[in-house]
Amino acid sequence: MHIFLVRHGRDSRVPGSRSLSPEGLRQACSVGARLSGQGVTELWTSSLERARATAQAISWAVGLDPVVDRRLDEIRAGAAGIPDLPPPRERRRGPAPDGVESWGEFLERVGCFLSSLCGVPDPRRRIVLVTHSGVFDAVFEILCGTGARVELAVENCAVTRWEYRPGSPAGAWLLHGHNDTAHLTNTSGRSERPRETVSCQ
């Protein structure tokens, strides 16, 4: 079973809306084209707007409808302006404020989703998960069992690929690649300039 983690495209970061920017839509179309040759069998997405829009662009390329699952959402930070709120990876002990998710609760949520996938470890499954940078960190900590504070560099629409191979003497999980952005560069090796109007259809 192969799992392709995809971070959402660049978003507008307008207060009250996190829709994809024109560059973000271009990135989403590019990663969709990249994944179209991977034999994708399942497409899952976070419920957040920027992830769902990215998944929709990928769906046009791979011919699958995205399935929304809130367990792929970014760690919940609660309302803005909470004083003295520690960074997400430091929220490990003590009760969290209302609406705020501790790192332990976040790991449990993401781990529950991974466990549900592993219940059917068919090697023919090739699963795309459109999600957020915090989920990449959580997956790494869960699969590697470090228990340490680790933050991974993850670009918008980068791809990280894990393979689940239960019973392998070398370990059940194999990391094939992390933060792959080759599909986001042109032939000169430089990032393409964002287009003002982009359509994947």
The answer to whether residue 94 is domain-embedded is no
Q: How many domains are contained in the chain?
A: 1
The answer to whether residue 194 is domain-embedded is no
Q: Please tell me the predicted confidence (pLDDT) of residue 25.
A: 95
pTM: 0.86
Q: Please tell me the predicted confidence (pLDDT) of residue 195.
A: 38
The answer to whether residue 21 is domain-embedded is yes
Q: Give the domain CATH number at 22.
A: 3.40.50.1240
CA atoms within 13 A of residue 31's CA, in its CB half-sphere: 32
Of 46, 172, 167, the C-alpha closest to 106 is: 46
Give every CB contact of residue 17 below 8 A, 6+ residues apart in sequence: 49
Range of 40's domain? 2-75+103-184
Q: Please tell me the predicted confidence (pLDDT) of residue 151.
A: 85
The answer to whether residue 200 is domain-embedded is no
Which residues of the chain are modeled with pLDDT < 50? 83-85, 187-201
The answer to whether residue 122 is domain-embedded is yes
64 alpha carbon, distance to own chain's centre: 17
The answer to whether residue 22 is domain-embedded is yes
The answer to whether residue 96 is domain-embedded is no
The answer to whether residue 39 is domain-embedded is yes
